[in-house]
Structure 1
């Protein structure tokens, strides 16, 4: 089952995922911003080369276990524990945390895409990543996602394509 929605924001293709967690915004903030916790769910290793908390304009370095360099990006917004936005490979990743009345929080993750035809492929990838985040926050980490399409990724991809999410971009590792 897919949980993301395809939209356009200021003329750019975008994906939006919403998840509610029984954890405080501070706990989820750590999971989505701390490089030592990002390894449980984010598709690349993340490093902030400048010491201290990331600030707008600060560089971000991405890397992969299998083939090294994952490129660089920039911190766009850093407002703990509410908003964190960074760039990566022509995309902008926005994380918004809102407290819920029961003490939990809502995570809204929006990915502004560089190319429209990558939407289904990217949505399937973020589904896998967010499922890993769900598991990590539930105390049962499954490990970060790999680089090759899995059967679960293919199911998500096919679901997104069948609902009309733009597709057509090559699938790496396929």
Structure 2
């Protein structure tokens, strides 16, 4: 399973993942910052103005309405950050060893109780990114071939990660 850390980022709750890839920063940058690369693993279709202050649009996610955000940082090939529905997503790349790189994905949360839910979602998405970077043909995080979300969620809740937020697409519980 992908591992995640629950942290505080600029005074806000966040979940953070780190991955090391045997690929140059530029290759991973294309996968995490260009709409064509994002299409393989990101939960929404992305259109954007690739500059700080640019508009970023999200659509085609079966669990969310279409929405827009703002590009908070765009510093090729090392840093890309944007707002999304009250959250912030920060993607940072650093050279690792002779020819590899380290990706750090930080999801700064609008609400602490979304930590386990969002971490489980990113775990599925990052598994699809891993497939893409190894040359496999990922079908995306919402496909039948993607890793299941529920085991990640249950594991994160069992580990004590904050939870309780609404799960999109899940039946509503009566209070």
Distance in 2 (alpha carbons) for counterparts of 1:162 and 1:2: 15
Contact kept, 8 Å, 1:2 with 1:160, in 2: the verdict is: no
Pick the aligned partner of 1:62 from 35, 48, 58: 58
- Whether 2:10 is the aligned partner of 1:14: answer no
Residue of structure 2 in register with 1:43 after alignment: 43
Cα gap change, 1:25 to 1:152, in 2 (>3 Å): same
CA contact (8 A) 2:112 2:163 kept: yes
Partner of 1:139: 135
Q: Normalising to structure 2: TM-score of the pair?
A: 0.91
Total equivalences in the alignment: 169
Give 1:101 shift: 1.6
Q: Does 1:24 align with 2:35?
A: no
Match of 2:84 in 1: 88
Whether the 8 Å CA contact 1:2–1:159 is kept in 2: the answer is no
Once the two structures are TM-superposed, the CA of residue 66 in structure 1 deviates from its matched residue by: 4.4
Uncovered stretches (5+) of structure 2, i.e. residues with no partner: 171-175
What do you get for the CA RMSD once the two structures are aligned? 1.9
TM-score scaled to structure 1, two decimals? 0.91
Aligned to 1:116: 112
C-alpha distance in 1 between matches for 2:63 and 2:129 = 23
Q: Could you tell me which of 137, 156, 163 is aligned with 1:160?
A: 156
* Conserved? CA contact 1:147–1:173, under 8 Å: no
- Report the alpha carbon displacement of residue 20 of structure 1 after superposing the two structures with TM: 0.3
In structure 1, the gaps of 5 or more residues are: none
Q: Indicate if the aligned counterparts of 2:57 and 2:66 stay in contact, CA closer than 8 A.
A: yes
Q: 1:162 to 1:109 in 2, by over 3 A?
A: same
